[in-house]
Amino acid sequence: MSRSIGKISYIKLFTDIVVIISVFMLATLLTKGAFEKTDFILLLLLVIGWYFSTKMSNAYDDFRTERYIGELLLIFQNVLIQSIIAGQVLFIFDQHDSSRLFVVKYVMILTIVLVIKNYVIKKLLVYYRQKGGNIKNVVFVGYNEITANLITQIQNNPHYGFKVIGIIAKEEEVVDFGGNTYLGDLKKFLDMNEDYKIDEIIITTEEISKAMMEKVFILSENRAIRTKIVPSYINYYPSRLQFKFFGNYPLITFRSEPLQEYHWRLVKRVFDIVFASLVFLFVFSWLFPIIAILIKLDSKGPVFFRQDRWGKDNKKFKCFKFRSMKPESKDVTEKGTFNQATQNDPRITRLGQFLRSSSLDEMPQFINVLLGDMSVVGPRPHAHEHNIRTKDEVDSYLVRHWIKPGITGWAQVNGYRGETKTIEQMEQRVKYDIWYIENWSLGLDFKIVFMTVFNMVKGEEMAY
């Protein structure tokens, strides 16, 4: 709710810099046993790098309503930048002998100390706020469902450190404020001389004139109160909103997608290439010939099965799979509908049953990853006919195609893989896919990969 830089944020920054200096000295002594002039240059660059990297990542925002895991990811992100700075500077200084050992020790110790330090601070702040300290006093303008929900969150989470001073609303809106103080209508509030201790005014209604809105801003500026507005359309479009400027005009995008940013697309592409290359080197190189021979022995026909799938921006591509069905099998019925694989499907070969249940039939899609048609993680691509049938039946279905499809995905590791017998099942799959698009991170991709491997080992009910 509030993310302003305050005293606590500066304390966090100062203590983090102290930690960086202390850990640097310790890592240097453990690695070389003494300090050199170049070490102090490196230390200065690390401190400067920490300041700017944390500033860019908003690491010292007021995370009152955030879980610790969010702060933890920011720690890892900024420590990674520290390792890059250290490695590059030591390379320039031609200190190859000790550089790797120093960077490993520095990064490991720094990560451990920062995780513990920030966890302790987080717990102390939660306790302090529960006892009434570091409180922000809030006044709401307007009373509706948004207001009631925000007040409930504040009351159920005292560790957020917010206190509702009262509600400003029209008299006809006054029914039941749940025990909260009614401060009258907006005109009465603006005219009153009482000097309430208010830190934030949150406007949750659109039923306010431009002239009255200007008076609220003047009042808040004169009393150093921060004013915030919750747009009413958030009730009708509850996805993540993104605020940007187009020239001098503010724009609100209804869906926030991390992969809209070029640098994150680059990071994901590098991950895809490295991961797919490792799979080819250590797994596919020996597994492919074995599976190819078994497919040929099991039934006549090609080793690979290629099918038209929809990729990013609805562009079709040829998706590779190990053939798991009899060569005469058809994807489309005589009526023109898509013929999904079902449990005990007679089209599936004996070996194909094993390949599908173990997900090994999907392995050739790493070829698609290297070609750039797919990603390791993303919404699963559906067959052309399947997309044609479903896009008009399921709301927001085509949003899945804003990013590259994946070999595995968030919907699949949460049980929505394979056959979709009902529209409701497809709607759930789409919800998981859209959540992934809006919440993508490299850490989430790693998590999905690990969950996929775990599911492959234990076996999946819908894998047929």
For residue 70, give the nearest of 435, 444, 432 by alpha carbon. 444
37-56 vs 68-92: helix crossing angle, rounded to 10: 140
Let me know if residue 251 belongs to a domain: no
For residue 160, give the nearest of 195, 198, 183, 129 by alpha carbon. 129
The CB-side HSE value for 292 (13 A sphere, CA atoms) comes to 10
């009614």: which residue's tokens? 182
Residue 286, classed as helix, strand or coil, is helix
Let me know if residue 245 belongs to a domain: no
Per-residue pLDDT of the chain (464 residues; tens, 9 = 90+): 333 445 777 888 899 999 999 999 999 999 888 888 888 999 999 999 998 888 877 777 665 555 666 677 788 888 999 998 888 888 887 776 667 888 899 999 999 999 999 888 888 877 777 776 778 888 888 888 888 888 888 877 776 778 888 888 876 665 566 666 777 788 777 776 566 688 888 888 877 888 888 888 887 777 778 888 887 666 555 556 666 666 677 677 777 788 988 888 998 999 999 999 999 999 988 999 999 999 989 888 899 988 889 999 889 999 999 988 877 666 655 555 555 665 667 778 888 888 888 888 899 999 999 999 999 999 999 888 778 888 888 888 898 999 999 999 999 998 887 666 788 888 899 999 999 998 898 889 998 998 888 888 776 655 54
One domain for residues 406 and 284 = yes
One domain for residues 146 and 77 = no
Residue span of the structural domain in which 60 resides: 7-130
* Cα-based distances in Å from 464 to 112, 259, 333, 406, 461: 44, 32, 19, 19, 8
- Residue that finishes a domain, picked among 105, 130, 155: 130
For residue 366, give the nearest of 284, 264, 426, 434 by alpha carbon. 284
For residue 388, give the nearest of 329, 441, 337, 437 by alpha carbon. 337
For residue 458 the two structure tokens come to 């234990």
For residue 64 the two structure tokens come to 């009152």
One domain for residues 401 and 267 = yes
- Rounded to two decimals, the pTM is 0.56
Let me know if residue 211 belongs to a domain: yes
One domain for residues 111 and 21 = yes
One domain for residues 444 and 302 = yes
* Dihedral (CA of 28, 29, 31, 36) sign: positive
For residue 219, give the nearest of 252, 183, 250, 248 by alpha carbon. 183
Let me know if residue 2 belongs to a domain: no
When divided into structural domains, the chain yields a total of: 3
